[in-house]
Amino acid sequence: MMNIVIPANLVPDLVEELTVDETGAALDMTWVSLILNEFDDHAIEQGILLKERVGGHVTVIVPDVEGADDVLHAAAAKGADRLVKLTGDFEAGINNHALARMFGSFLEESDPDLILTGVQAHDDLDGQVGPLLAGSLGFPYVGYVAGVVPENGSVTVRKEYPGGLIAEMNVQTPAVLGVQAADEPPRYVAISKIRQAMKTTTIEEHAAEPPEESRGPAVHRMFPPDVGERATMLEGDLDEVARQVLRILDDAGASV
Amino acid sequence: METDIYLLVEHLRGEVAEISYVLAAAAREMAGATEGRTVALLFGHDIPRLANGLDIDQVLYVEHPALAEFTSEAYLRALEGILDLGAPRAILFGHTSIGMDVASGAAIRFNYPVVSQVKQLVTDGDQLGFVSQICGGKMMVEGAVPEPTALMTLIAGGYHPEAGRNEHTPEVRRVEPPALEDLAIELVAYHEPEAGDVDITKAPLLIAVGRGLQNEGDLELVEDLASALGGAVCASRPIIDLGWLPITRLVGKSGKNVKPEIYLALGISGAPEHVEGMTDSGVIIAVNTDPDAPIFDVAQYGIDTDMLDLVEALNAQLQLAKAV
């Protein structure tokens, strides 16, 4: 039975307005809500799909930040077997090197066959958790994975390249995969099932200390992008705006 | 103090990827500040001249059948052989399917810091700084390139690939390959994208849909609009990952670069990985409910409204025009 572990993380929700804090070098987290990294959501889905298809045991581990319990309960409702919260000091933020090291301390004890994690996160600044983890565990790594088929002692994966080209690769396990997209879109799970999972599952804790030296780049300044010329905003009621759009299309040569 | 700037040449099936030219342009700027050389790392089998069009001073070429096709494992071993010769000031990788697979692994293996999503390098005397674009294009961060050696993954958009081209013949130095047996990753086959679908690179008008499209069923309204306007429907990543459109319709990283006369972006935020594929379009009109969405920095015209409301209004206007 395949032992699958999914280290996942939460990231700022980009739907909300992002502002810089008083240090001038970090996001102001006061009003930011954290959501599951969308690629980690695909990694969780891929893990559950593998379990459903060929059998397996799925562990999801997330750092103990706001929203972690919700992510874990939702994963349980989808079919994850074991929920783990990585405890430590995440108040001041944590870089991917340190996070990978902390995940690593759990993974060394859990003897996984396959580690699935999102290929990247939108706030990555010091590399990606997947290949950092693979490097520190000495496992092979393939990123941009969109499709996983287990074989005996290995997995066959579909790796994406630009232009839609896919490389089919065989990877000996244990291995780390950076998931771009699961075989199927992440499933919807009803609130009632999540509530049920809250009652019937327990969340374990794994304490890990961040490494003393973490090799991320120092940020001196954070700022919104320097907008050159912004778009001319079309105003008016919808019909008026639609007429303006059609005029622009007509001027640009569309067959309106 | 290390001065040379290395870059990893990305190539697939005999073709150098465009990001490699972006890396060459950035490397040239950095080497100007450090007074070092720009050096292309070329790993492969029977391709010593592949880096010829790149504007670089030297090629370090590692040749081995196991390097014929990319795997992060074989590339990391080849990189080890290169670094045995001495350390550069920086190694540049693409923030891509190849570069990202290697850079973070190399950071652990060689204990070098890595800086991700770099858009621009900033030079001040011999000091090197980076500017990265994060949070889907909504924030920039600036810092010093860590010393003495840093690994960096560069996104497209900061340097024009043309600036990294030079039709010359750089010196090629062969570097002895490392042991490349017992590899855990093996290429089985390449699969081309499915043919037969619409070729979005040929359509004069593209209507692109993104996360703002809430229901798959509403895609039909967008298709109606596209056919009324003589265009095709394409998408950003979330729509492809939901399986609502095939990957042949993807614009941006992992997808196609398009240059239609008109690009109507519906419910697309404008993350850099999408923008790199459509920024050369003629007229760009963006529709998004978030007035701060980065797509409005790329578009000439913007509409701060729900995409479906506008699609319905456009369809109604077109119906009306037809009836007249």
Judging by beta carbons within 10 Å of its beta carbon (0-12, 13-18, 19+), is residue B263 exposed, middle or buried? buried
| Distance between CA atoms of residues A128 and A130, nearest Å | 6
Over residues B200-235, the pLDDT tens digits come to 999 999 999 999 999 999 999 999 999 999 999 999
Note the pLDDT of residue A214: 67
Question: Which residue from B135, B143, B321 is facing A217, i.e. has the nearest CB?
Answer: B143
Q: Verify whether the Cβ–Cβ distance A249 to B262 is below 8 Å.
A: yes
- Six-digit token string for B192: 């081309």
Cβ–Cβ under 8 Å, residues A178 and A171: no
Note the pLDDT of residue A256: 66
**How many C-beta atoms lie closer than 10 Å to residue A125's C-beta?**
20
Over residues B105-155, the pLDDT tens digits come to 999 999 999 999 999 999 998 889 999 999 998 999 999 999 999 999 999
Of the ranges B64-73, B194-203, B234-243, which one carries the lowest mean pLDDT score? B194-203
Query: Is A134 a residue whose pLDDT tops 90?
Result: yes
Query: Is B85 a residue whose pLDDT tops 80?
Result: yes
**How many C-beta atoms lie closer than 10 Å to residue A164's C-beta?**
20
B228 CB contacts (<8 Å, ≥6 apart)? B315, B318
Note the pLDDT of residue A226: 75
Q: Verify whether the Cβ–Cβ distance A217 to B242 is below 8 Å.
A: no
Q: Verify whether the Cβ–Cβ distance B297 to A239 is below 8 Å.
A: no
How much is the mean pLDDT over chain B?
94
- Six-digit token string for B182: 């017992």
Q: Mean per-residue pLDDT for A63-71? A: 96
Cβ–Cβ under 8 Å, residues B252 and B278: yes
| Distance between CA atoms of residues A215 and A132, nearest Å | 11
Measured in angstroms, the CA of A9 and the nearest CA of chain B are apart by: 15
Angle A25-B145-B80 from CA coordinates, rounded to 5°: 135
The secondary structure of A189-244 as a DSSP string is --HHHHHHHHHH--EEEEE-PPPS---PPPEEEEE-----SPPEEP-S-HHHHHHH
| Distance between CA atoms of residues A129 and A95, nearest Å | 9
b (16+ CB within 10 A) / e for A89-102: ebeeebbbbbbbbb
List chain B residues with CB under 8 Å of A124: 116-117, 134
Measured in angstroms, the CA of A104 and the nearest CA of chain B are apart by: 13
CA-nearest of B156, B153, B18 to B90 is B153
Of the ranges A5-9, A170-174, B277-281, which one carries the lowest mean pLDDT score? B277-281
pLDDT tier, A146 (very low <50, low <70, confident <90, very high otherwise): very high
Q: Verify whether the Cβ–Cβ distance B73 to A140 is below 8 Å.
A: yes
CA-nearest of B95, B94, B98, B97 to B78 is B98
Q: Verify whether the Cβ–Cβ distance A143 to B317 is below 8 Å.
A: no
Amino acid sitting at position A87: T
Q: Mean per-residue pLDDT for B262-266? A: 97
Question: Which residue from A170, A221, A255 is facing B229, i.e. has the nearest CB?
Answer: A255
Question: Which residue from A127, A181, A233 is facing B114, i.e. has the nearest CB?
Answer: A127
**How many C-beta atoms lie closer than 10 Å to residue B324's C-beta?**
4
pLDDT tier, B317 (very low <50, low <70, confident <90, very high otherwise): very high
DSSP E strand stretches across chain B: 5-8, 11-12, 15-16, 38-44, 58-63, 90-94, 114-124, 127-134, 139-144, 150-154, 171-175, 185-191, 205-209, 232-235, 262-266, 283-287, 301-303
Cβ–Cβ under 8 Å, residues A177 and A139: no
Q: Verify whether the Cβ–Cβ distance B116 to A128 is below 8 Å.
A: yes
What ipTM score was computed for the predicted complex, to two decimals? 0.93
Q: Mean per-residue pLDDT for A37-65? A: 97
The alpha carbon dihedral of A215, B95, A150, A167 has a sign of: negative
Cβ–Cβ under 8 Å, residues B12 and B47: no
List chain A residues with CB under 8 Å of B267: none
Note the pLDDT of residue A253: 81
pLDDT over 70 percentage in chain B: 99
Measured in angstroms, the CA of A127 and the nearest CA of chain B are apart by: 5
pLDDT tier, A228 (very low <50, low <70, confident <90, very high otherwise): low
Cβ–Cβ under 8 Å, residues B113 and B107: yes
| Distance between CA atoms of residues A221 and B143, nearest Å | 7
Among chain A residues, the shortest Cα distance to B95 is held by A127
